[in-house]
Structure 1
Amino acid sequence: MMNETSYAPSSLAEEDVPSTTTERIIAEVWAEVLNLDEVGRHDNFFDLGGHSVLATQAVARLCVALGRHLPERALFDWPTVATLASALPDYPAAEQDVRIRRR
């Protein structure tokens, strides 16, 4: 699980610093996947060097970190931290692992 207090941007303009817990989690995941020190709330995933394979990795990590089911194309539809964070309420929370028992 992400440490909420670990995000300490040093070079982002004040208006670009992720401002919610959700934005901070998204920015941390993107920074990890893209091998960057920090990501701002208005940064575009693809402008930062992201591509389809990295987008798939980022979405998989975000599903775990945020506990949400996101479509694989989420970063193509919402390529900034802010737009993705604002779209999250439209997606269901991840459910617990449910196994079918055979009789």
Structure 2
Amino acid sequence: MATKATTDATFATDVLESGKPVLVDFWAEWCGPCKMIAPALEELGEELADQVQIIKIDIDENPDAPTKYGVRGIPTMILFKDGQPAATQVGAMPKSAIKQWVQSKL
């Protein structure tokens, strides 16, 4: 599996303590645009596996992380480097745009 799910309970271990950059996709089951970008994120998880890990977190089941990082609309993607948010992108984008954005921030 190219992407991995995390929870409020495992967020620190999965994201903040990761040895490499982590792209966190804040999403929800009812969010159409979130479902639109999901396949792109899966593919990017494989294509960029050596550069970045892609992790998804369901904001309905895990309210703490989105609150802590100021997520107001979804999908929101936050790139974490060394345990800190390095870049944020709100809204759905085509796969090529997501890839370009991630690579420009690594």
Query: TM-score when scaled to structure 1?
Result: 0.31
Name the TM-score, length of structure 2 as normaliser: 0.30
Bigger Rg over Cα: 1
User: Higher helix fraction: Structure 1 or Structure 2?
Assistant: 1
